Amino acid sequence: MADVDVIRVAGPARLNGTVGVVGAKNSALKLMAAALLAEGGSAVTNVPRITDIALMGEVLRRLGADVRFDTALDGSGTVEIGVPATLHHEADYDLVRRLRASICVLGPLLARTGKARVAHPGGDAIGSRGLDMHVGGLARMGAEIGSEHGFVLAEAPFGLRGAEIWLDFPSVGATENLLMAAVLAKGVTEIDNAAREPEIVDICRMLTEMGARIDGAGTSKLTIEGVDALQPVRHATVGDRIVAGTWAFGAAMTQGDVTVTGIDPHFLDIALDKIAQAGGLIETRPDALRVQMDQRPRAVDVVTLPYPGFATDLLPMAIGLAVVSDGVSMITENIFDGRFMFVQEMVRLGAEIKTDGHHAVVRGRPLLSSAEVRATDIRAGAGLAIAGLCTDGPTTVRHAHHIDRGYPDFVADLRALGVTAERLEALPDPEYTFE
């Protein structure tokens, strides 16, 4: 039997108190990759202390960069990245398969070295996420793209050139890769139907500080005028809206009162509106939000969409709210075809959920029943743990290492919010068998 990490929480319990969030995982990883675009020493601050950051650091080291981590008192970190004049161009399979975000080194490597060999990515099991838009956009910029032995091979023997690129879908990953390639390309690149997430704006801000010429950050059309070279910078990562949203929904699910600091509430406008529709009281200030729920939540419907729509990463929390709400909710997932993989684990807690394609119909219950469940990805793990606070006893979440990839101090934060939570020694996984 294989050993698995375990988090145990005790229900029923209310989240109550103040919790801070640090930089966004989905931004910090890409900012680290962006540092490859400039020779010299760059620093990314307000970085979360999570497994994925360490993995990305190792990816950069193997490309030739010197990477050092420093932890601040608030739990955030700083990554110092020394980038040499000459980079290696291959990102190893053993790391890339564990971290999908490492595919974002493709654009910077192609821009800096004229070639890249990057393993096909891994990451969370939440459905297919192809690289067609990455490849198609880079090809329009003059790259020759192929695939062999599990690697994406890219080469731009005559350098990258500006191009007009239309994305079939506002893909965050494709927007980031094409953006980072375009800043050193010859001429002007236009990316239409670009992603608009705050993390995209953050990377545009860092690149601009490095000397890039970018117009349209935060809109669906990015215009990038290529420059000859960029300069290293020190840049602070934007606050993590998904972690903040997790605690906001946690307050609503547990009929609690939680203040979240370190986040711009506007990043969560639609999510907070859904909580308000469910009966929550919302207060905001420029760098914080507060959610109070003084009654059993009312059922609300949720549809995930690209930003500024409801974030797909918050879907497990939306389902968590629905399973304890008064009434029937319809939850629709439009981004990832495997996002509902965790639903059977929620059912083990007594939730009443029926799925059909990309829809889930949820009939809420006043109280769930404690059980042993398994985290299938980062956000599902967090959602299951918080749902465990809405049960009649102790709930155990196995494969908690998934949660560690997105939440720096999840158990400590739960305790700070007044509930009983503990990290247990690795336990045997009964679902693992040798063949």
Q: Please identify every residue annotated as catalytic.
A: 124
Q: What share of the chain is helix, strand, coil (3-state, %, to 5)?
A: 35, 30, 35
- For residue 115, the one-letter residue type is K
Closest CA to 308 of 339, 277, 267: 267
Q: Is 26 annotated as a binding residue?
A: yes
- For residue 413, the one-letter residue type is D
How far apart CA 220 and CA 204 sit, in angstroms, is: 13
Torsion of CA 303, 320, 53, 5, to 10 degrees: -150
Secondary structure of residue 6 in the 3-state scheme: strand
Q: Is 25 annotated as a binding residue?
A: yes
Residues counted in the chain: 435
Q: Is 100 annotated as a binding residue?
A: yes
Q: Is 30 annotated as a binding residue?
A: no
Strand-pair category, 257-261 with 288-292: antiparallel
Return the structure tokens found at 364: 């809420």
Angle, helix 198-209 to helix 172-182, in steps of 10 degrees: 10
Torsion of CA 177, 378, 248, 329, to 10 degrees: 100
Q: Is 429 annotated as a binding residue?
A: no
Closest CA to 263 of 46, 70, 80: 46
Residue ranges for the known binding site are 25-26, 100, 313, 335
Annotated binding site for phosphoenolpyruvate: 25-26
Binding-site residues for UDP-N-acetyl-alpha-D-glucosamine sit at: 100, 313, 335
